[in-house]
Amino acid sequence: MVEPYSLSLAEMIARIRQKKLSPLTLMESVLKRIDSVDPLIQAWVTVDRKGILKEARIRRDEISRGQTRGLLHGIPIGVKDIFYTAGMKTTAGSKVMEDFVPSYDSAAVQRLKKAGAIVLGKTATTEFAHADPAPTRNPWNQEHTPGGSSSGSAAAVATCMCPAALGSQTGGSVLRPAAYCGVVGLKPTYGRVSRYGVFPFSWTLDHVGFFTRSVADAAILLGVLAGYDPQDPSSSKEPVPNYIQLGRPGRKRLCIGLVRAFYGEKSERQVWSHTEKIMAKLEKAGARIAEVEMPPSFAAAQDAHRTIMRVEGAAFHEKLFEQHQEKYRPKLRELVQIGMLIPGVDYLRAQTIKRLFRREMEPVMQKYDCLLTPSTSSPAPGGLASTGNPWFQVPWSLSGLPTIHLPSGLSEEGLPLGIQLIGGTFEEGKLLAIARWCEKVLQFSLFPQVG
């Protein structure tokens, strides 16, 4: 018998709508799973057992009367601990905020609740979504990092403690943990999802993203979260299509651009070899693979991103740092101190490079249905002092282009490997359709055996 906690997001939705699964039964199953697995994985900071069981009973009674609040009625969702949640602690993984309880919900949480979802709890994050690790363990091997900064969200989804969870990405904080934990991770276009009520790290780089166990589930969640929000000045008024009805992935013969520059030389041998095998499978299935010539500004992307992140991170933390410097962990403390020393002219130059890179990527993206790279340069590194390197995601965080990670195999050590697909600005619908096609071709559906 299939346990309710192991169902996909789409399956949970369908069974609740058909009255084959009670929201209360689902919540009890999920809590039992958390009790079994989380002592080992440590993905959760807060789980509001009393509150969520109360909400599940309300959703159960509503569905029994034929009432639903929305698409996610009764669905438990994890939320990274940098998203404001009214009445629930939001600590940002830091001693600085260890007692902070917001009085309102972030925009993303508001949309989840409006759709009928139940916030299961808060998932572990690196300190203020930077580099000082959370206690979370990689579910495939507990001696390896799960990635960061959305460590808990990725690990919770990978171990079926929730069907989906919110994360955020400034450098590589959605795609990298998705890759290390072997789940689907989606970072939409910059401005596609509101960041209102989310602790900022870098205002011009931060993206709201999320984790699921399939592309179809990612399409469902994006449909709930996407759209203009007047509370967020960077939020886009671009119309939101129906992502759930995934259309054709592209032109008659799918054209995928392989980015060899930087990625080929920085990948470990087994990672690039795996990527080549994936490309061969996609070609055999009918796609055309062509090598991409990246624009000149690509070479400066890493440095520009680092400068912007440091300066904007220091700007946000300036007053908190003055008051609570002793509570800051080493890596965030170093970033703030360095960011305060970077000259304004260097910051403006980095912003100029960012704008140039975004502009130069537009004609590149018009030539292909999507771009493809390995998601990470290596499988999840051993040890828990680091969350791994975000450099394979940095160009797409800087450009603001939508990016999705797909699990595609296992390394020689039995750790997840995967590919990331990059789409055109606000072309998430097309990107999801391509990702779904790739998912069907690759047929990778392994999950870690925990608990």
**Domain segments of the chain as ranges:** 1-295+353-451
At residue 269 the predicted structure's pLDDT band, cuts being 50, 70 and 90, is: very high
For residue 365, what pLDDT is reported? Answer: 98
pLDDT of residue 401: 98
Q: Catalytic residue, from 22, 29, 94, 149: name it.
A: 149
C-alpha span between 35 and 41 (Å, rounded): 11
Q: Which of 173, 202, 375, 378 is catalytic?
A: 173
pLDDT band at 213 (very low <50, low <70, confident <90, very high): very high
| Percent of all residues in the chain with a pLDDT value above 90, rounded to a whole number | 96
Contact in structure between 278 and 270 (CB atoms under 8 Å) = no
Q: How confident is the model at residue 65 (pLDDT cuts 50, 70, 90)?
A: very high
Q: What is the DSSP letter of 134?
A: P
Cβ-proximal residues to 142 (8 Å cutoff; 6+ apart), any chain: 40, 41
Tell me the CA end-to-end span of the chain in Å, nearest whole number: 17
- The more confidently predicted of residues 253 and 301 is 301
pLDDT digits (tens, 9 = 90+) for 99-149: 999 999 999 999 999 999 999 999 999 999 999 999 999 999 999 999 999
Going by the DSSP 8-state scheme, the letter that residue 402 receives in this structure is -
Alpha-carbon span 181 to 137, nearest angstrom:
10
pLDDT of residue 390: 97
Q: Among residues 117, 156, 170, 196, which one has the least CA distance to residue 31? A: 156
The residue from 22, 29, 80, 94 that is catalytic is: 80
64 tagged catalytic: no
Cα 445 to Cα 14, 184, 406, 412, 442: the distances in Å are 21, 11, 10, 17, 9
The chain-wide mean pLDDT, for the chain, equals: 97
Does residue 149 have an active-site annotation? yes
- pLDDT at residue 301 tops 80: yes
Contacts of 263 (CB under 8 A, 6+ apart): 272, 373, 374, 392
Known active-site residue 80:
yes
pLDDT at 245 exceeding the cut of 90: no
Task: Name the CATH topology of 1-295+353-451.
Answer: Amidase signature (AS) enzymes (3.90.1300)
For the segment 265-294, the average pLDDT, to the nearest whole number, is 98
